[in-house]
Structure 1
Amino acid sequence: MINHRILIKVLFCFTLTAVNFIGNAVAGTRPIVTVKGEEIFPVHVQDRLVRLLHELGEPAWSKKETEKMMNPVFSYLRAFTGRQFDRTLAALQRGDKYRPMIRKKLKQYQLPLALEALPMAESAFRYDALSNQGAYGLWQFMPVSARRYDLHVSSRLDERADPALATNAALKYLKDINKKFGRISILLSIASYNAGEGRIQGIVRKSGINRKARGYSRIVRFLPEQTRGYVPEFLAAALILKDPSFFGFPVTQSHVYRYIQIPKAYSLDKLVKLTHISSNTLYELNPELGKHKRTPTNNFILRLPNKSAIQLNKRLPTSIAWQPVTNPIDLKYQLKAKTQLVYTVRTGNYLGGIADLFNIPIQDLRKWNQIKGNNIKAGQRIVIYTKTPLMRKFYLIKSGDNLGLVAQTLGVPIDHLMFINGMNSPRQLKIGNRLFYYEQQV
């Protein structure tokens, strides 16, 4: 006689397995492995994508349409959390300064808050970003478009670098193009921001899409290849901004910083005196200041300790104080040491060995990566801070090479090469393979 309890358990397990299989099949079964060692499958992201599309004002997508979009979105998420982790983390840290201002203006213009991710996709939140085509600033305005929206562009003054004025211009532009394309899909408005409204208008006419028809999937196949990639890049950036800790990015638990918008170009020496902080602290909290002696643009936003920001805001009556939107990205990850590495754990690696390899205390490794005990697994990415500037390099194995000869050529111990590459035997060399190692930067 069949035991019904066992049968129910078996059916339940089978159902869970089937759901996971179907969800993971969206973008392959290989998960994203965050720097915390947590695995993220497409099935974990798909509901978040659906909620994001709803927030943007998209009509309901079919399951097939959502799964089709999940492929490129998941690919961008894999890149942002993997090989581009450092760059994405730096962009998030910069974005902390601008997002409170951008979100307030989005509310004023009655646009979806998720559009705050556009400058992350456009410029990685760099006020001085310059493209090969001549687009400049946080929102990557071309000179013609900038002047159309009342931004002054000349050799003496370029207001595209002004975060506040450029944001006003960008949101006016988004409002205008959304009137044209928003009835079909706001994602088409985002595509227009990348490709230009004239080009998108031509595509809409050629596609034969009725203005009453809604949905991005109805027109995506007509878009240029670069723009078809831009929209999922924006969606991936928006997903990370909504919940950076889910994707392995560190966030602080308290608002220890505040942001002050300085109306005019101001002497940094004077700001140091007004805030009672050292110039080193000012530059550490605002690395984009570089070698500037004054705030580089009007309406420049400074990151300051909470008390210093409140003090400065009282002494500069025309300044604007902004608080973090959410728990901000942890600056300690950027400032704690001269070099930040993301190390991928290999088969056979253990936590103490990694600590020895980089000459750092094992307890620091645990703290930086929120690891309890010594449990790590192959494929896990571990954030490492070292005081010695290091660069990850590789050597291409050639005919006649052996591990001892390669180690001698590179000036790297054999144990180092074997550990980094997860080798059990010095004979595990194949012609054409890459052998990774770390070298001190001069």
Structure 2
Amino acid sequence: MKLFILILLTFTLISPKCTMKTKHILDYQPKVIETVKIEKINLELSESLNLEENEDFILVNVTSAAFMNDGNHFGVINGSKLAFYDSQTGKIVKVHIASTEFSDLIAKSGKTPYIDSNRRYRKEQSHFLSKEEYLEHGITEELADSFIKNRFSIVRNINDTIYASLTAYCPFVTSKSEKVYDNIPIIFKFSKDFEISENVVLELKKDKHAISRDFISTNKNLYSTVSSLYYEPINNSGFQSIPTVAKYDKKGNYLQTVSYQSPNYLTMGGKRLPWVAPRIVSVGDNVMMLYPDELTVFGENKKMFELQNLPFKNDSGFVYYQDYQRYCRSKEMQPEIDVMARLFPIKIMDAFESDNKLYPIILVWDKNKPMGFYYLIQEYTSDGKLLREVALDDEPENQIRQFAFNKYDKELVLFKKSKTSWTAEKWRMR
């Protein structure tokens, strides 16, 4: 799987004192923590499936994948396209394209652009434009196509039903005839024959802008990652932070914020870290959030439990991150992957649920490994007891680009990219 380290640049000069700190950072080596040997998750390779590609659907990257409840089909997201595959043959059976037509769902949903007195173009109430209104506001088809770049983001199997989220762009016009394009998540529900059966447009709030990094649907509510430029108090405690996950009703109306940036992320920069978004997993009656760099599993506005038996911690990374960023800006250079890997040797890549157990997929940077890292998959009970784990090495000529879990056959599925093709390796978990 490709790792994307997103860098936020500002223009700040570095002080001599900070330079001394940075030398320590450049030489920093994470302390190895002794782990204990526990029961191993047994993986047996059951099949390696070649994935079809054609002129209408060329796999550049698998950004998300999910199996249908019978295990016979799975969905794969590749940028603006969502393809459903036959899991026995590897053949494509249906492709959905994130066309500009989906933007009309926003205009017809009744949702409106939020008002924000701090933003010049958001000071007055407006409405999202339908396609029928484009021309009267000077938006030609060519102009719409240049600004509206809708993309599928996440596909999920939730309660034996396939859902997918789409980042859709929809214009509105200010009182001064300025054209503004909002990006808004739409969550689609799919039928068993791979057609869209329902859609929900999530409400935008000025301090909780819904983003399509991850979502889940429970019996009563929807949960989605959000981003914000504003701090808000947590549960009237006086402590303020940046919202990261919000709860919505089934119609997409905002109810409340359920997770925020941790103090560690606030130390790293707070609102300058809009990329901080967790994986959201429903395990039993609990909604769990796992952040990329945090080694704690969070519930709704609470900590649930710590991830255990890991060979490193990320504590020093949170402390040194800002100093290293300032150093890089002073040198007009991008942060080096090697340094970032030593500062944050543990990265939570994904997580899934099976039989009321949580399975985080963890990338561990380890210079002693051929690829410089390996994957660790752990099994936890819903109350945080570590039961089993297994380590997976990657291959330079056949790299893991994405994970999925087939609940029906109890298979961990690795989507791999070689020089010539894509494959889905099915590993039965025992």
Instruction: Please indicate the TM-score interval, normalised by the length of the shorter structure.
Output: under 0.3
TM-score, scaled relative to structure 1:
0.27
Greater RCO structure (CA 8 Å; 6+ sep): 2
Structure with bigger helix share is: 1
Larger Rg over CA atoms:
1
TM-score, scaled relative to structure 2:
0.28
